[in-house]
Structure 1
Amino acid sequence: MTKTPSKTPMAGGFLLALCLLVGVFAGIAKGEASFGFVIGLGVGLALLIAVWVVDRVRVGR
């Protein structure tokens, strides 16, 4: 008996929020909070898109 894939989508919003927070705090440590925010946003969006693509492939849409 095989298991059917779950229809529940994966969520990547947590990764985006985490990257933003880490980026801001790392930026504050370096004296460039806004630059850290932008870097965190870029990394978070990349991870968010990766989770979305993996979820689309997993569900088979």
Structure 2
Amino acid sequence: MANSPSRTPMAGGFLLAISLLAGTVLGAGRGQASIGFVAGLGVGLALLLLVWLVDRARSPRN
């Protein structure tokens, strides 16, 4: 039987969701909700990638 991981992996989905919402709200405030959404998506994906890389570096290698 395989051993289960000893720690819970980090999740970055929250950062993606918040950046999408914030980008849309900020973009709507400037009259460009679509551009704000796309900018929020870009920032959120960058943060998501950063969290994934940090989590991968912290995980034990087999």
Shorter chain as denominator, the TM-score bin is 0.7 to 0.9
Q: Which amino acid is the alignment partner of residue 18 of structure 2?
A: L
Structure 1: segments with no counterpart, 5+ residues? 1-5
DSSP-derived class of the 1:39 partner: helix
Q: Which runs of 5+ in 2 are unaligned?
A: 1-5
1:2-60 deviation per Cα after TM superposition (whole angstroms, max 9, x unaligned): xxxx5210000000000000000000000000000000000000000000000000013
RMSD (Å) for aligned C-alpha atoms: 1.0
Match of 2:23 in 1: 23
Relative to the length of structure 2, the TM-score reads 0.86
CA distance in 2, matches of 1:55, 1:7: 11
Q: Which runs of at least 4 in structure 1 moved beyond 2 Å after TM superposition?
A: none
Higher helix content, 1 or 2: 1
TM-score (norm 1): 0.87
Taking every aligned residue pair, what percent have the same amino acid on both sides?
66
